[in-house]
Chains A and B, each alone.
Chain A
């Protein structure tokens, strides 16, 4: 039995003539500890799907099961979300931000501060405990976001283009950091991205989605050993295959 079961999920926005189908019967299964990337162009419904998995949105039909429990309008207690624009509270320092998810779960002050400090160290932000988000760089902010998400010991980590706003170099660093953290956990990761390189670099499996309506076009298993070399022929071949899968018409890309 899969740990995460996305079972015939569809999502329609609006009603009547204005109704748009954002997701069309999407089914994906993932085991505990698997790293899944949802890859596609904008409008393919990958972020919508992540919102549905996280319980922040309801599917129109179908359901999402986490460890056999259906998700309904509430985030599963063993799931954590990392947001695209980091979603840090600007009036809280790094420690309070990281401790927030624990506070929300009723963990006492001493215990949550101790845990927060552990995770701050884990993401390499020791020395920044008392800083406020506006005093941090983009990469550091997202480290805080990741520390906050990991602090509750999630079995399901949902990440919505977390490195989308970072420069290329910081993004590469953060990808490596994320893999390092993930290897220490037993957690399924669902990672939304529009970067093919990013998906091939990170995932065990890449789910390529196509837009309007959002559908699963093709699923790729990435069997390359980690750490992966983005300049290796195997890596580049996968990138190329996915490019083909993403775009309906090769001529649009001017590729031979």
Chain B
């Protein structure tokens, strides 16, 4: 784990070096294209501002994805369990999940105005579909023998859901959560560019208006860093919760 983390830094270091070389070579106006050191200076000098905006964005993503999780996982368990529900909702799910959430931003602003609400609603919508689809997939791929075991034991439908389908689908649900955080994060930045007056998306748009490319760069880097952080958190949770999978599947 530690070893692979260090190796993971190599391309990033190379990228920063290329960036530095490109900056020094003067192929592009240095007024528009800041050096790594200038961007680093922004982190140091404006840490408070950056942290405030990052916190606003993270709060919205956590809120939106949590709401999506609470709605999508039970719905996915039921749809995956009962073929009639699957048949009923399959087309609708395929249609709705194809909408790019960014296309819904203008509608969200019309409905909810400028502020927290449109942003969180949009993130919830964006995070809902990957969670729902992963949960359905997880439930459907349960080992059939285990359902027979349950039936032969006289287990109630509720026990089947809580003790068999949920743990069996958990790895897929956590994969869905990773995807949901990813699309939630994309959505929050887009939503903040239009619908809210705070957050990293807003900061980047604002930096363009006041002509601060160094600030744009630092905003983008923070977004990437937080994306990595979220992904690592879910991976760790998965490693912890799905230890029973050790030796069953190759680790991802």
Report A's interface with B, CB cutoff 8 A: 54-56, 74-75, 77, 79-81, 83, 85, 87, 89-92, 100-101, 103-105, 132, 134-135
A87 contacts which chain B residues (CB < 8 A)?
Answer: 145-146, 148-149
A105 touching B244, Cβ below 8 Å: no
A105 contacts which chain B residues (CB < 8 A)?
Answer: 153-154
Report B's interface with A, CB cutoff 8 A: 145-146, 148-156, 159, 163-164, 167-168, 170, 242-248
> Could you list some 17 contacts between A and B, CB below 8 A?
A55-B152, A56-B148, A81-B149, A83-B148, A85-B145, A87-B146, A87-B148, A89-B149, A89-B164, A90-B248, A91-B242, A92-B244, A100-B149, A101-B153, A103-B159, A104-B154, A104-B155
A215–B247 alpha-carbon span in the complex (Å):
42
B245 touching A75, Cβ below 8 Å: no
A134 touching B163, Cβ below 8 Å: no
With A56-B151, A87-B149, A104-B150 already in contact, the answer to whether A134 and B159 are too (CB < 8 A) is: no
A87–B155 alpha-carbon span in the complex (Å):
15
B167 contacts which chain A residues (CB < 8 A)?
Answer: 89, 91
Q: Which of A56, A77, A89 contacts B146 (CB 8 A)?
A: A89
Interface centre among B153, B247, B248 (most CB of A within 10 A): B153
A135 contacts which chain B residues (CB < 8 A)?
Answer: 247
B150 touching A134, Cβ below 8 Å: no
19 further A-B pairs in the complex, CB-CB below 8 A; given A87-B148, A103-B155: A74-B154, A75-B151, A79-B152, A81-B148, A83-B148, A87-B145, A89-B146, A89-B167, A90-B244, A91-B170, A91-B244, A100-B149, A103-B159, A104-B150, A104-B156, A104-B159, A105-B153, A134-B246, A134-B247
A77–B244 alpha-carbon span in the complex (Å):
30
With A85-B145, A89-B146, A89-B164 already in contact, the answer to whether A56 and B246 are too (CB < 8 A) is: no
A86–B152 alpha-carbon span in the complex (Å):
13
A81 touching B152, Cβ below 8 Å: yes
A54–B149 alpha-carbon span in the complex (Å):
11
B152 contacts which chain A residues (CB < 8 A)?
Answer: 54-56, 75, 79-81
With A83-B145, A87-B145 already in contact, the answer to whether A77 and B247 are too (CB < 8 A) is: no
A92 contacts which chain B residues (CB < 8 A)?
Answer: 244
Q: Which of B156, B159, B245 contacts A90 (CB 8 A)?
A: B245
